[in-house]
Structure 1
């Protein structure tokens, strides 16, 4: 039989109330007594059934997800996953609220984080803008005892407990290797695109990309990074201008979103040899572009896995329990025309 709280109390020679306070991390227990209870827990091999404990107490987790509001296809997919989690939450004793902020708006994100803190949820997950003001707002939540998880894009130097996203430097290096190999000996420069250098995921992808190009394809000219703010119209305009300014453009790496505009610019580019193109996120537009040979490769992250990971970590922090690190590792998928799901 599994040991119970009654067994712990008997082994440690304390009351059930004292065991409950230790298990829930509450004050009012002398250090020596706490050590006796913890020693009993270890000696008996007690593993707490957190779900049963929460059910018995009528506990409901309260989480806030803060997402950028734009028509970025990946962010729309992320939003749909959060909404689905919120609907499941009614059956899983979880209240999940989703709040929108304008994309790349530091002040709006700080205000949303502070507003969330005033509601005192158990945890907050958000897509970070890597700025000191945002870091300070996230740390204010932590100081209130609110668990913080960054989602998709991380926040340098913050006290967040977890980042639910891919290794973006590895993703950028992968993109560089693919692009360099696909280009072979074809001459011409390469254009890197970002949504915004204010977000860490785009910066890290470009850092990884630049490292591989310098290490393995050093003879290849790399043009200055263009920022399309994840907007299809702006991204399309920038790509059209680049194609006109550099008729020999050999490759494009899109580290952000706005790929519908990129694809339209490629379609309008005429009958010449198009650049080799590597982009992020398998969406309806990038899937069709792969199938039609308008682009060459897509690096993808699973939005559903990221949302589920964020929720698992927030629950674990709330319950003061451990997570399985391997379960929270977000995979980088590579899609070509030949292996589209």
Structure 2
């Protein structure tokens, strides 16, 4: 049988009220008595059932998620997964608020973090933009004792508690290796399409891509980065101009979103099959393009896993429990048209 608080009280020779004060780190217990209770806990191997304790206290977890607005299909998928979690929030004692900000807008994001801070949540999850005002806003939350998880794009140096996302340098290296191998000895430059260099995930992916290209495919020219702001219309315009300027273009690495515009530009120019294209995130549009051959390979991160991971970590931090690193590791999926999961998955 698992030891109980009654066993701890008997072992330590104290009352149940004293055991409760020690377990909940409340004042009013002498250090010698506290030490005796803690020794009893260690001797008996007592593990506190936090879920049961929270249920008994009717505890809830007020959490704030800050997501970019706009047409980014992956972000909308992330929001959909979050709303699904919200539909089950009563059972998990969650109280989730979603705040939306324009994509890549650092001042707006800093203001949203200030708004979140005023709500006094148990934790905040945010798709970060790397800018001084955002870093400072996250630091203030952490100083207030509010746990912060960065989603998809990290913010090192901010004091955040956890990052729920893939290793983006590794993702960029994977894309570089795939593109180089697919192209083989075919000549011609390759282009990189990003959303914005203001976000860490895009910069990390670019770093990894360039590293592999220089190491393993040194003769391949990499053109200057194009920033499409994850906007399909802007991406279509920019990629259309890229294709006109570079009739010998061999490949494109799209490390951000806006892939509807990329697909449209390639197909309008009649270059859907002649330009090798590696992109990120499995969405309805990228799935169709992978099946048609316009996109050759997709790197994907599981939005549902990221949302669930962020919630688990924020709850664990609120309860003072350790985070299980292996459980929260987000893997990089590589999809070809031959191994696509069923659409309902």
- TM-score w.r.t. the length of structure 2 is 0.96
> Contact 1:193–1:225 at 8 Å: present in 2 too?
yes
> Contact 1:78–1:307 at 8 Å: present in 2 too?
yes
Q: Secondary structure at the residue paired with 1:75?
A: helix
Q: Which runs of 5+ in 1 are unaligned?
A: none
C-alpha displacement at 1:273, in angstroms?
5.5
Q: Which runs of 5+ in 2 are unaligned?
A: none
Instruction: Please list, as runs of the form range in 1=range in 2, the aligned pairs for 1:201-220 lying within 5 A after superposition.
Output: 201-220=201-220
C-alpha displacement at 1:275, in angstroms?
1.1
Once structures 1 and 2 are overlaid, which stretch shifts more, 141-150 or 272-281?
272-281
Once structures 1 and 2 are overlaid, which stretch shifts more, 61-70 or 34-43?
34-43
Specify the alignment match of 2:105 in structure 1.
105
Deviations 1:241-298 (A, max 9, x none): 1101111000100010000000000001126852100000000000000111111000
C-alpha displacement at 1:78, in angstroms?
0.2
C-alpha separation in 1, matches of 2:21 and 2:145: 18
Specify the alignment match of 1:253 in structure 2.
253
Specify the alignment match of 2:277 in structure 1.
277
> Contact 2:152–2:164 at 8 Å: present in 1 too?
yes
> Contact 1:9–1:19 at 8 Å: present in 2 too?
yes
C-alpha displacement at 1:30, in angstroms?
4.2
Specify the alignment match of 2:301 in structure 1.
301
C-alpha displacement at 1:160, in angstroms?
1.0
> Contact 2:101–2:112 at 8 Å: present in 1 too?
yes
Aligned length: 341
Two-structure CA RMSD over aligned residues (Å): 1.3
> Contact 1:266–1:274 at 8 Å: present in 2 too?
no
Specify the alignment match of 1:131 in structure 2.
131
- TM-score w.r.t. the length of structure 1 is 0.97
C-alpha displacement at 1:6, in angstroms?
1.9
C-alpha separation in 2, matches of 1:229 and 1:317: 34
Q: Secondary structure at the residue paired with 1:230?
A: coil
Specify the alignment match of 2:69 in structure 1.
69
Specify the alignment match of 1:34 in structure 2.
34
Instruction: Please list, as runs of the form range in 1=range in 2, the aligned pairs for 1:104-253 lying within 5 A after superposition.
Output: 104-253=104-253
C-alpha separation in 1, matches of 2:271 and 2:175: 25
Q: Secondary structure at the residue paired with 1:90?
A: helix
Once structures 1 and 2 are overlaid, which stretch shifts more, 28-37 or 286-295?
28-37
C-alpha displacement at 1:19, in angstroms?
2.3
C-alpha separation in 2, matches of 1:142 and 1:29: 29
> Contact 2:273–2:294 at 8 Å: present in 1 too?
no
Specify the alignment match of 1:89 in structure 2.
89
